[in-house]
């Protein structure tokens, strides 16, 4: 007769709970992947030590950026050009993480940030003055839009650091790459405006909460409807296209006699509010239906009975009140698994003082039987099985339950698909509504513009209405955004230039070809001594050599390309020159 035992539930130890926690192993694996990534970088061969150090030091930064890809985003405002030491420190850390991807060519020129404060709980609207444009940029911050790196909501004031780039001088000074690869072909961006926005609290970066984007109404000088919006991925080192960029154009009204600006058209305001509300409605629908799908009952698949195989068995007496998970194995016997190396027939001849059963390596399939007698302890992996009529009866019950399980599973899948179809129909309706409202808004803006143009034409016969151009960005993540149109590199005549200043030869580290007819800068640094230019276009040239900035105007460019020797006589930008003087030198 097989031995019988009364079972007692074992207490789970802390070692059993923690035995599979191995965070160090995960960190080691991540570092190894980072090193392999660094070795594959072409810059690794040029500066191996720096590249390796950057990747390892940037580990925490990379983890943070990856984590917050899920966070798919003032009543009173204060603008200041002062940056705290902490903010400058964070800016330097970011520059290191970018490596040479964003690399201003000269330390002597920079497009500075302006810092604004906004209350995180209240939100607000910030007005940024744009020097070359009559109107300014608006930054609209919703309530409760910020979280920290742990995903917790920010309380108190947040500092928004913001800057814009509108012309070729801004682009050159920024060091932001303006090349774009599409289907293996490299293009250069022709810009209608670009901006960089960040958030901090007490010197620590903050992030935009998912579903709480800020809106940037970027002031622009270009009315063309041929640009797209892009976001700069500083981790993947590429520009990501967001959507087509349709400009919002409205004439600039003349100020009334009392000096107050004319109020915006009421219908236009209402249309804008309705359009801005649609994304919130879409998010609400998704949330409601996701909860409904999760709440659908999930049928549990029945356990298939196991038939005895003839291996050695133990017949256990179990108190199913104390051990309910074994109630499904009534009338079962427990076979000794073949994986047991310590099993012998002798184990059946011992009168054991206690027997404890616990979960086995294969949860729900096998168990660990622990036998004790005095100082002796044996552990066996056992399997619950049925014999004879018990197996036949259990199989019949299982077949019935399995059919019921499949019916319930089919019903759940059908209910889930029904909910998804309902959600898709509602989302499509909101998308169509948004398109309809956008078309209506455009018509209203055109109507306002034409009415204003007619008014201005009546007042001054030869004058034309000034236009305010805004490009509306939905910012879900802090970073660099632009409105650009990809253009091919210049094609035409090949020039093999030589560079000199006051007859002293120059060896440039950066060469920028500036098209005066378009807001575009061609970076010729990859091959500074041989490139193409179009004879139909008018250019100026800017180079960086030995940390100094040099330039030539359009007349000198034309003379140099006509010279058989291709020698460019460049003037050095004086030390201490600001961006205004730099733009003047480039004829901007």
Q: Which of the residue ranges 98-112, 210-224, 376-390, 460-474 would you say has the lowest mean pLDDT?
A: 460-474
Residue 571: CB partners within 8 Å, gap ≥ 6?
A: 501, 550, 551, 552, 585
Q: Secondary structure of the chain: what % helix, strand, coil (to 5)?
A: 35, 30, 35
569/25: higher pLDDT: 569
User: Residue 313: pLDDT above 70?
Assistant: yes
CA-based nearest residue to 168, from 530, 536, 455, 541: 541
Q: Residue 577 burial (CB < 10 Å; 0-12/13-18/19+)?
A: middle
Question: What is the pLDDT, as a whole number, of residue 35?
Answer: 54
User: Residue 22: pLDDT above 70?
Assistant: no
Cα distance between residue 479 and residue 162, in whole Å: 10
433: left (phi over 0), alpha (psi -120 to 50) or beta: alpha
CA-based nearest residue to 482, from 301, 222, 307, 256: 222
Considering 73-82, 102-111, 351-360, 503-512, the range whose residues carry the highest mean pLDDT is 503-512
Q: How confident is the model at residue 133 (pLDDT cuts 50, 70, 90)?
A: low
User: Residue 244: pLDDT above 90?
Assistant: yes
User: Residue 41: pLDDT above 90?
Assistant: no
Question: What is the pLDDT, as a whole number, of residue 15?
Answer: 55
Question: What is the pLDDT, as a whole number, of residue 182?
Answer: 75
Let me know how long the chain is. 588
Cα distance between residue 409 and residue 520, in whole Å: 59
Q: Which of the residue ranges 273-282, 313-322, 567-576 would you say has the lowest mean pLDDT?
A: 313-322
Average pLDDT over residues 170-194: 89
User: Residue 283: pLDDT above 60?
Assistant: yes
User: Residue 9: pLDDT above 80?
Assistant: no
Question: What is the pLDDT, as a whole number, of residue 252?
Answer: 54
* pTM over 0.75, yes/no: no
Give the pLDDT confidence of 460-500 residue by residue, as tens digits. Answer: 444 334 568 889 999 999 999 999 999 989 999 999 999 99
User: Residue 215: pLDDT above 90?
Assistant: yes
Average pLDDT over residues 581-588: 89
User: Residue 301: pLDDT above 60?
Assistant: yes
Strand pairing category for 498-501 and 567-569: parallel
Give the pLDDT confidence of 420-455 residue by residue, as tens digits. Answer: 999 999 889 988 988 898 888 888 888 888 887 777
Question: What is the pLDDT, as a whole number, of residue 75?
Answer: 36
Considering 69-73, 265-269, 367-371, the range whose residues carry the highest mean pLDDT is 367-371
Give the Å distances, CA to CA, from 29 to 40, 54, 59: 17, 17, 12
Average pLDDT over residues 491-511: 93
Question: What is the pLDDT, as a whole number, of residue 306?
Answer: 83
* Residue-range domains of the chain with CATH: 71-252+470-488 (2.60.220), 491-585 (no CATH)
Give the pLDDT confidence of 341-384 residue by residue, as tens digits. Answer: 999 888 888 888 887 888 889 887 888 988 898 899 999 999 88
User: Residue 112: pLDDT above 80?
Assistant: yes
Q: What average pLDDT does the structure give for the chain?
A: 79
Question: What is the pLDDT, as a whole number, of residue 185?
Answer: 78
User: Residue 227: pLDDT above 90?
Assistant: yes
Question: What is the pLDDT, as a whole number, of residue 143?
Answer: 94
Average pLDDT over residues 337-344: 90
Across the strands, what pairs with 189?
Answer: 486
DSSP annotation of 386 reads B
386/90: higher pLDDT: 386
Which helix H or strand E contains 377, and what residues bound it?
A: strand 376-385
Q: How confident is the model at residue 325 (pLDDT cuts 50, 70, 90)?
A: low
Q: How confident is the model at residue 148 (pLDDT cuts 50, 70, 90)?
A: very high
Average pLDDT over residues 51-59: 39
What percent of the chain is modeled with pLDDT above 70? Answer: 75
Q: How confident is the model at residue 68 (pLDDT cuts 50, 70, 90)?
A: very low
Q: How confident is the model at residue 314 (pLDDT cuts 50, 70, 90)?
A: confident
Q: Are 186 and 179 in contact (CB under 8 A)?
A: yes
Question: What is the pLDDT, as a whole number, of residue 274?
Answer: 86
User: Residue 26: pLDDT above 70?
Assistant: no
């Amino acid at each position: 007769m097989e031995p019988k035992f009364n079972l007692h539930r074992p207490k789970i130890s802390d070692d059993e709970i923690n035995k599979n926690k191995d965070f160090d192993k995960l960190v080691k694996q991540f570092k190894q992947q980072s090193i392999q990534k660094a070795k594959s970088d072409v810059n690794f061969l040029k500066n191996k030590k720096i590249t390796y150090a950057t990747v390892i030091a940037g580990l925490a930064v990379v983890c943070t950026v990856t984590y917050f890809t899920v966070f798919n985003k003032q009543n009173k405002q204060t603008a200041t050009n002062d940056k705290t030491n902490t903010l400058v420190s964070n800016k330097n850390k970011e520059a290191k993480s970018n490596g040479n991807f964003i690399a201003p060519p000269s330390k002597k020129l920079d497009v500075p940030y302006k810092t604004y404060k906004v209350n995180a709980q209240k939100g607000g609207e910030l007005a940024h003055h744009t020097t070359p444009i009559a109107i300014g940029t608006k930054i609209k911050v919703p309530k409760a839009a910020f979280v920290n790196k742990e995903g917790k909501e920010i309380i108190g004031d947040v500092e928004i650091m913001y800057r814009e780039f509108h012309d070729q001088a801004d682009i050159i000074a920024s060091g932001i790459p303006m090349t774009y690869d599409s289907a293996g072909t490299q293009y250069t961006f022709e810009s209608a405006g670009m901006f960089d926005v960040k958030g901090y609290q007490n010197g620590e970066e903050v992030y935009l909460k998912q579903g709480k984007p800020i809106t940037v109404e970027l002031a622009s000088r270009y009315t063309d409807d041929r640009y797209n919006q892009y976001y700069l991925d500083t981790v993947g080192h590429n520009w990501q296209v967001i959507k087509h960029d349709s400009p919002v154009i409205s004439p600039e009204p003349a100020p009334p006699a009392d000096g107050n600006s004319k109020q915006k058209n009421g219908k236009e305001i209402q249309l804008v509010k309705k359009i801005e509300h649609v994304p919130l409605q879409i998010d609400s629908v998704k949330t409601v239906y996701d909860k409904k799908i999760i709440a659908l009952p999930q049928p549990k698949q029945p356990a298939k009975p196991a038939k005895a195989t003839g291996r050695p068995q133990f017949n256990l007496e179990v108190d199913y009140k104390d051990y309910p998970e074994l109630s499904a194995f009534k009338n079962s016997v427990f076979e000794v698994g073949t994986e047991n190396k310590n099993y012998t027939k002798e184990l059946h001849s011992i009168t054991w003082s206690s027997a404890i059963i616990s979960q086995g390596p294969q949860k729900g399939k096998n168990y660990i039987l622990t036998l004790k007698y005095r100082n002796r302890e044996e552990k066996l992996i056992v399997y619950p099985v049925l014999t004879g009529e018990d197996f036949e009866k259990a199989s019949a019950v299982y077949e019935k339950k399995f059919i019921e399980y499949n019916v319930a599973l089919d019903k759940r899948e059908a209910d889930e698909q029904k909910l998804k179809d309902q959600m898709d129909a509602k989302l499509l309706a909101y998308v169509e509504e948004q398109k309809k409202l956008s078309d209506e808004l455009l018509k209203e803006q055109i109507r306002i513009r034409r009415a204003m143009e007619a008014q201005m034409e009546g007042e001054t016969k030869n004058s034309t209405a000034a236009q305010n151009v805004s490009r509306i960005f939905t910012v879900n993540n802090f970073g660099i955004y632009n409105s650009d149109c990809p253009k091919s590199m210049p094609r035409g005549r090949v020039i093999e230039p030589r560079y000199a200043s006051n007859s002293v030869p120059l060896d440039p580290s950066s060469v920028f070809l500036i098209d005066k007819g378009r807001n575009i800068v061609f970076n010729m640094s990859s091959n500074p001594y041989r490139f193409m230019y179009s004879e139909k276009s008018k250019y100026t040239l800017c180079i960086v050599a030995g940390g100094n900035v040099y330039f030539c105007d359009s007349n000198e460019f034309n003379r140099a390309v006509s010279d058989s020797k291709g020698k460019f006589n460049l003037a050095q930008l004086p030390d201490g020159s600001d961006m205004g003087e730099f733009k003047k030198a480039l004829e901007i």
